[in-house]
Amino acid sequence: MDLPDITDSEKGSIVLPNCYHIGAAKCASTWLYHACLEHPDIYSPPENDNLNFFLLHYDRGLDWYRSQYFGAVSEGKAIVDFSNAYMLSDIALDRIARDTPNARLTCLIRNPVDRAYLHWAHSYYKSSRPPADPATDSGNPLDAAVERPSGRTFAIPLEVVRHPNGWVWGRAWLEPGLYAAAIRRVQARFPEDRLRVFVYEDLLRSPEEFLSSYFEYLEVDPSFVPACINREINPDTEETDPARMTDDLRTQLKAFFRSDIEDLQRILDRDLSEWL
């Protein structure tokens, strides 16, 4: 399975990405993005590790997308759009399948209970952080405000996700961890070999082997080792450590994710009992 050509054979100009990293959030996607920035055979828009064009800016058109993010590309085999929202969005996946039907997709997942806590904690504890440094940080939406609010701007406790009227927070923090459901959405739109699922625990065990496998799937040099391989990017803090979650809430969230994890084990043909 070869990557689709990145150039228009008639116009000789860059068309659209042939690879999309579609999530999940808080699963080291920013680290992976920086590794791709260093690879000589991969192009991702510098300082834009969450484009989310096919969900948020599709109304601006594909020509805007090309010129805004990929106008500087002159050569390269893999052109990657990193966008964590795509994994969750039927609308985005429909658009990607229509506009780039031969594209390759990747996702990186981790224990969904830990992922949920990290997603919440990064909002709760980092909402007062200063404007992002693009060299180390994936960014804060508040940076886009005309008058950036000061101090803590978010103070919703994670426990609200289990309240019937907390559904909006459940969708924000829990739904991204329903990986099996998300994968089945992708499989309904793309051939099975167009999606490769990577697991965060494999990254922890051996970043070198993890990246080699990822690069090989993108059909670029798998032996390349980026300088960032052992560097923390957008690092966690003591406050954002999932070990701080109460036993009671962890038990509740394990129950919430159990059926999806069991389905995921069947999809991946992999033992994920350590998540249960």
Place of tokens 């990607």: 96
Task: Yes or no: say if 16 and 51 are a contact pair by the CB < 8 Å rule.
Answer: no
For the chain, percent of residues with pLDDT exceeding 70: 84
Asked if residue 16 has pLDDT above 60, the reply is yes
Question: What is the per-residue pLDDT across 138-192, written as a single tens digit (0 to 9) for each?
Answer: 566 666 666 666 666 677 889 999 899 999 999 999 999 999 999 999 999 999 9
Report the CATH number of the 19-275 domain: 3.40.50.300
pLDDT averaged over every residue in the chain: 88
In this prediction the pTM is: 0.89
Average pLDDT over residues 68-84: 87
Lowest-confidence pick of 36-45, 82-91, 237-246 = 237-246
Task: Encode pLDDT of 19-43 as tens digits.
Answer: 999 999 999 999 999 999 999 999 9
Backbone phi and psi for residue 246, each to the nearest 5 degrees, phi listed first: -70, 150
Q: In whole angstroms, give the CA distance from residue 266 to residue 123.
A: 33
Percent of the residues in the chain that have a pLDDT greater than 90, as a whole number: 72
pLDDT of 242 over the 80 cut: yes
Q: Phi and psi at residue 79, in whole multiples of 5°?
A: -120, 120
CA 202 to chain centre: 16
Distance CA 51, CA 82 (A): 6
What is the chain's alpha carbon radius of gyration, rounded to the nearest angstrom?
19
Q: Minimum mean pLDDT among 109-118, 127-136, 226-235, 243-252: which range?
A: 127-136
**Residue 28 to residue 110: CA distance in whole angstroms:** 9
Amino acid at 5: D
Average pLDDT over residues 85-91: 97
Q: Enumerate helices (H) and strands (E) in the chain, giving the number of each.
A: 10, 5
Q: How confident is the model at residue 12 (pLDDT cuts 50, 70, 90)?
A: very low
